[in-house]
Amino acid sequence: MCSPNLEFQYINPSTQVSLYSQPANESLTPNSIKWTVHQGFMNKSSDGENRTQFKEIANYPDNWFFGRETANFTASNALFLQNSNITFWHFEVVYTFNDVNSSSALDFEINQPPRPGDCSIDPSNGTTSTMFKISCWGWNDTDKIKDFSFYGSSKVRIRLQIVIFLAFLAWTADIGHRVMLGSTTGSTTGSVSSSTFELLLPAGSGDKSSVLVSVQVQDSRNCVTELNITTVSVVTNSNDINELISAIQAAATKNSAVSSNSSLKKLLDNSSPTVVAQLVTTISQTVNQITNNTITTAIATGMPAASIFISPLGGQKIEGSSESANESTIKEYMRLLNDHASTREFLMESVTNTNSSEWGHLLLQASSLARLTQATNQLTRKTCKLASAKCREIAIALNQRATKVSYEDIEMIANQIIPCATNVLSAINMPLQQRGKILELDSSRSGGISEDNNDDTNSELDGANLNSFDSKDEPSHERNIYYQKLAAKKVAMEVKTTLESIAATLKVHLNEGQHMTINTPAVFTAWEAAPRDSLLNKTIVPFENAQIRLPTTLNLNLNSSERISLRSMVQPLAIASASGSQVNNSLSTMISLSAFDFNGMEIQIQANYTHPIELIIPRDPNLTIPDMKLFNVTSIHIPNQQFYFHLIDIAQPNENLTVSLHFEIRPQNRNLNYLFIFKFDGPPQLNTAIKDIDDWYLFCSSNITDDGIHRYFIDNNRTAKHRSVVVGLRELNNTEMCSNNTSAPPIFDQSFKFSSDYELRTFTSGCYYLDPNNNWQSEGLLVGPKTNHTQTQCFSTHLTTFVSGYSNVPCPVIKNPIFLSDDKINVEMNIDRSLYSYQHNSNLSVSYFTQ
């Protein structure tokens, strides 16, 4: 980043500069701090520097300069890149005290990038198995590379060698961003004249399968020159990849080693870490494309989307078939699923078995891990644990180099490591949330103590252990879930360490007002350094339908000027509760916001119930919303009854978990008005003699929504501790006015008959936070009225990790309800035999049978 040059510090134009200052007498508190920037040019006639103040500093306060009035000042690389004609920069800080001003300054000279040479690639077309040869020549560094002599008590003369780093990148039109292919490092004390490298390339896109290959040439001061070499045609070598997949699957079936006859297997066994990572990236790209096609076909032929994959963040609903998938479709899907799961596990072992501390290899390895873990439904427990451990290892290595690598390099590797970590976290929780199929490798390993499970056998989980199962050696669903929970616990801890290491690294580089955002289909996360008061009334919108809004009043035990770090994150799948409590959050995203002080310690931020924190938590867009149930009420007449009643079961497995209730009615005649009443755990009654209801509402035709539906919402504070709700409906007659400004419900003592049928749909929703034991709790959270089928609005008084719950519940018509002393409802169900079904999630259905 910066290198000494006597009077000047060398700085690269592609990196930001962060400056830190403090008064000589730290006991004195300055009245103000102000940074100024000057630009300079070398005057050839006087062999000196001409310097003028950079007056545009006030025009770029939010994206070029950060911390102008603080002890720490940052100038982004935009200052240098957009003023490339300026060679010298002078940064000065002035501390103003009561009686005196004190100043200090640093001077920088732009380190010129290597002078462009040229590169060629041969051949101009090939396959994913072709080893392409790239030759580069004529590259020189504009600064003469000199020997530096240092003198000390040991009188050792140290020779500083300049390292030339060449990183090859390629991108294809279909993925829209670069893929790192490899790097090579060499040492020299002068200039590089020629070098030759061998690389594997990914499959291209379009009719010509084009891949644009570029090269970045970077010296040891990280100054870069980039060159687009050429476009080459690269097609997938399906035969080689299929041969490798077949060999891996055969080995998995026989529980033996993979045959070395495969050409790709030989490359993986005998190549350098760079080639292994290149090969894993290439194969992952191909298998990912096959996986996408397989999922699309499965959904189109009737497999529920939410039961086989996790929708990407910001994704759209995938329309499938109205008919269920046939047996052959499911069988073929499962075959490909398990074949690719075996392949990913084998490739994960290959890439995690390679070790190199070189920066270029770490970046390449991180890139291959992100692509290899992309298909979360195909990651076995072993794959998850290997990937999680390797991502953690790279994140820790990055943190150890925090002061030695540039902010831009940190951003580059974080964009690979964080999606890898969150992919693994989603994958390990998919079976626990019933969002994916059980993989054959995991199922077969659930019997006995396999190598995969050996490191988990000493762990404890909910007081259970292997002795609680009838058979210790035979695979079973219960044993498989037990091992899955143990692995999920371990992965969650490693992912936490990975994120903490990335955060600690960024803390070194992010100044006040700066932020870094990673926005991928696997995760959204943003880090921001800001003063305390910036939290007030702050709104964070990661993407459409996701939101975190802080109130105007917060309880913060910090000085108003104290700088904090914020981390917001959205992940596509809620993790399963450690205790296995029945919280229906399997179709929820997971959203969090955390604040940290200058020392990296998490800050407890409290709001109050009057001004709470608001969250909008989206659901998976492939949530199946059931059709509304038609009730043929015009054919029913019950003498002496003023209302038709519907029973709604809201009982929760844990009474400390609360849910809201949402009631939707679509009248076939939208011009009608209705009186809606309800009572918890008992029959509502409303006439001139008795008013025994918990609440009432008027559904007026003038207020009906565009989709022809009336909606009513009961929040979770009102439903708490209750097991059921009985609602009553009746049409208003022509003499009864319908207005929501009415202070009392209209009372009608005579029996009535509906003139039009209606449709009903009811569902519950919940807000949950993750406690220190990784269990979901709802205490202190309030479900808001903006909750619908696609999102839940939550209000909280504290910050942590949040998810939402969702369940469709039936609402059968009942007559003559009789309520027993233990609050259980004995119901004489209405009319003809009907079957009411609803889904808790994609794999579980519960039925009511009425008679």
pLDDT tens profile 676-685: 999 999 989 9
Query: Which residue, 71, 92, 110, sits at the end of a domain?
Result: 110
For residue 433, name the pLDDT band (cuts at 50, 70, 90): very high
For residue 61, what pLDDT is reported? 64
- Determine which of 184-188, 480-484, 804-808 has the lowest per-residue pLDDT on average: 184-188
Taking all residues of the chain, what is their mean pLDDT, rounded to a whole number?
81
Q: What is the pLDDT at residue 454?
A: 58
Is residue 618 situated within a structural domain?
Answer: no
pLDDT(194) > 60:
no
Least confident stretch, 410-424, 502-516, 833-847: 833-847
pLDDT band with cut points at 50, 70 and 90 for residue 143: low
Least confident span in 9-18, 167-176, 232-241, 387-396: 167-176
Mean pLDDT of 263-289: 84
Residue bearing the bigger pLDDT, 656 or 259: 656
Provide the pLDDT confidence category of residue 29 given band limits of 50, 70 and 90.
confident
User: pLDDT tier at 792 (50, 70, 90 boundaries)?
Assistant: very high
Query: ∠ CA 764-767-772 to the nearest 5 degrees?
Result: 140
Domain end marker among 50, 79, 110: 110
Residue 668 has pLDDT above 70, yes or no: yes
pLDDT of 823 above 50: no
Check whether residue 744 and residue 822 sit in a common domain: yes
160 domain-assigned:
yes
What pLDDT shows up at residue 602? 83
* Mean pLDDT confidence for 697-717: 95
Do 445 and 484 share a domain, yes or no? yes
Percentage above 90 pLDDT, the chain = 37
Q: Of the candidates 382, 377, 175, 355, which has an alpha carbon nearest to the alpha carbon of residue 281?
A: 175
| Out of 453-457, 519-523, 684-688, 830-834, least confident range | 830-834
| Tokens standing for residue 507 | 């803390």
Residue 725 DSSP SS3: strand
Residue 100 shares a structural domain with residue 124: no
Q: Do the Cβ atoms of 709 and 793 come closer than 8 Å?
A: no
Give the pLDDT confidence score for residue 548 in this predicted structure. Answer: 95
Tokens, residue 610: 């009057």
For the cut 50, the answer to whether the pLDDT of residue 57 exceeds it is yes
CA torsion, ordered 364, 367, 372, 374, to nearest 10 deg? 180
Take residue 204 and report the two structure tokens written for it: 């291209």
In 3D space, the residue among 524, 516, 565, 515 whose CA is nearest the CA of residue 544 turns out to be 524
- Tell me whether residue 58 is in a domain: yes
> What is the number of structural domains in the chain?
4
> Do 328 and 371 fall into the same domain?
yes
636 within a domain of the structure (yes/no): yes
Please report the pLDDT score of residue 680 as a whole number: 96
What pLDDT does 467 receive? 58
Write down the pLDDT at residue 163. Answer: 36
Cross-strand pairs, 609: none
Q: Specify whether the backbone of 242 is left (phi greater than 0), alpha (psi in -120 to 50) or beta.
A: alpha
**Mean pLDDT of the 726-751 span:** 88
Please give the residue range of the domain that contains residue 433.
Answer: 268-310+323-490
Q: What is the pLDDT of residue 389?
A: 96
pLDDT the model gives residue 473:
59
Q: How far apart are CA 679 and CA 728, in angstroms?
A: 9
- Please state, in angstroms and as integers, the Cα–Cα distance from residue 568 to each residue in 310, 513, 514, 518, 705, following that order: 21, 15, 14, 10, 34
In this prediction, residue 320 has a pLDDT band, given cuts at 50, 70 and 90, of confident
Burial status of residue 828 (CB atoms within 10 A of its CB: 0-12, 13-18, 19 or more): exposed
Q: Using one digit for the tens of pLDDT, what is the confidence trace for 127-138?
A: 988 888 988 887
Higher pLDDT, 775 or 176: 775
Asked if residue 98 and residue 124 are part of one domain, the reply reads no
Element spanning 340, H or E:
helix 327-352
Q: How much is the average pLDDT of 624-651?
A: 88
Q: Residue 461: pLDDT band by 50, 70, 90 thresholds?
A: low
Same domain, 201 and 279: no
Q: Which of 641, 717, 680 is nearest to 819 (CA)?
A: 680
Residue 369 has pLDDT above 50, yes or no: yes
Pick from 462, 490, 518: which residue ends a domain?
490
Kindly state the helix (H) or strand (E) to which residue 166 belongs, with its residue range: strand 162-171
Higher-scoring residue by pLDDT: 679, 530:
679
pLDDT at 815: 64
- Bridge partners (DSSP) listed for residue 109: 10, 88
Distance CA(35)–CA(53), nearest Å, equals 11
CATH number at residue 92: 2.60.40.10
CB atoms within 10 A of CB 800: 16
Does the pLDDT at position 46 exceed 80?
no
Domain check: are 24 and 104 in the same one?
A: yes
- Give yes or no: residues 74 and 156 share one domain: no
Lowest-confidence range among 4-13, 312-321, 405-414, 795-804?
Answer: 4-13
419 found inside a domain: yes
Same domain? For 84 and 206 the reply is no
pTM: 0.85
Assigned domain for 580 exists: no
Judge contact between 402 and 319, C-beta under 8 A: no
Asked if 670 and 724 sit in the same domain, the reply is yes
Question: What are the residues whose beta carbons fall under 8 Å from the beta carbon of 626, sequence distance 6 or more?
Answer: 761, 808, 838, 839
Judged by average pLDDT, the poorest of 87-101, 187-201, 441-455 is: 187-201
Q: Are residues 343 and 475 in the same domain?
A: yes
The neighbour count for residue 714, using CB atoms within 10 Å, is 23
Out of 304-313, 658-667, 750-759, give the one with best mean pLDDT: 658-667
Amino acid letter at 606? Answer: Q
pLDDT category of residue 469 using cuts at 50, 70 and 90: low
- Asked if 708 and 662 sit in the same domain, the reply is yes
Please report whether residue 838 resides in a domain. yes
Tens digit of each residue's pLDDT (9 = 90 or more) over 638-662: 777 788 899 999 998 887 899 999 9
Decide if 470 is inside a domain: yes
CA distance 349 to 345: 6
